[in-house]
Amino acid sequence: MPLRYRRVTYRYTNTGADLDRVFRRIWELNRQHAWSHTTRWRPPTDVLESGLGLLVKVELAGVREDDVDITLFEDVLVIAGQRFEEYPEGVDCRAVECRYHESGVRYGAFHVEVYLPVAVDADRVAARYDKGFLYVTLPRREM
């Protein structure tokens, strides 16, 4: 993967405010989850409807296909699974004493429920995992 490298200090566009915003965002996120009634996290999800049917796109990097369960209900599509904290070879620094400066990546059990606004053909539902995104296509049910 190409990588650009600049030997200068990065000039923050919003000095200080950036950090602040980050803190606040975490805080707000945390507040939102303060009354979470579940220990599972929800990955960001897109749901598109077209003439052909529905497309559900889940940002779900770093999971094995085996760790994902997709279940289609009458009116809801449920995608659940686990993401484990893993580091590929050469990048893993955890063996050595290391400490986090920021930990924002969610690990552990996740759970997505997508309400289906249209009737879909259960037999023709397909799923594909590509470049960290999970795509689930749900064709419209022909009448």
Partner 1 sequence: MAATPPPEAPAAAPAAEPLQELLRGLPAELPIMPLRGLTVFPLAVAPLQVGQPRSLRLLDDVMRDGRVLGLVSQKSPDVENAGPDDCYQVGTVGRIVQLLRQPEGGLMVAVQGLERFRITEWTQQEPYLRARFTLAPDVVEQTDEVEALRRLVADEFQRLAGLANQPEEVAAAIAEISDPRALAYMIASSVRMPPEVRQEILELDSVAAKLERLARFLARELELLELGRRIQSSAQEQMTKTQREYFLREQLRAIRKELGEGEGPDETADLRTRLEAASLPPEARQEADRELARLESLPAASPEHGIIRTYLEWLASLPWNKVTGRTIDVPEARRVLDEDHYDLDKIKDRILEYLAVRKLKEERELGNPDPERQDGDAPGAEAAPALLPTDTEPILCFVGPPGVGKTSLAHSIARALGRKYVRISLGGVRDEAEIRGHRRTYIGAMPGRIIQGLRRAEAADPVFVLDEIDKLSIGFQGDPAAALLEVLDPAQNHSFVDNYLGVPFDLRRVMFITTANAMDPVPAALQDRMEVLHLAGYTEAEKLQIAIRYLVPKQRQANGLRDSEVSFTRDALLHIIRDYTREAGVRNLEREIANCCRKAARDIAEGKRQHVRVTPARVIEYLGRPRFFADVAERTDRPGVATGLAWTPVGGDILFIEAALIPMRGGGRLILTGHLGEVMRESVQTALSYLRSDAKRLGLPENAFDNREVHVHVPAGAIPKDGPSAGITMATALASVATGRLVRSDTAMTGEITLRGKVLPVGGIKEKVLAAHRAGIKRVILARRNERDLEDIPPEVRRDLEFVLVDTVAEVLAQALEPATAADGQRAASAPAERPARRAGKPRSAAKPPAAASA
Work out which of 22, 48, 52, 118 binds partner 1, going by CB under 8 A. Answer: 22
Phi first, then psi, for residue 21 (nearest 5°) are -65, -40
Cβ at position 72, least distance to partner 1 in Å: 5
Q: Is 131 in the site for partner 1 (CB under 8 A)?
A: no
Q: Is 35 in the site for partner 1 (CB under 8 A)?
A: yes
| Closest among 131, 86, 138, 102 to 22, alpha carbons compared | 102
| Closest among 130, 123, 110, 86 to 138, alpha carbons compared | 123
How many residues lie near partner 1 (CB under 8 A)? 51
Length of the chain: 143
Which residues, 6+ apart, have CB-to-CB distance to 75 below 8 Å?
A: 115, 116
Q: Which is nearer to partner 1, 106 or 141 (CB)?
A: 106
Q: Which is nearer to partner 1, 8 or 95 (CB)?
A: 95
Residues in 39-98 that interact with partner 1 by CB under 8 A: 39-41, 65, 68-74, 78, 80-82, 94, 98
Binding span for partner 1 by CB under 8 A among 3-11, 35-43, 52-60: 35-43
125 and 137 Cβ atoms separated by less than 8 Å: yes
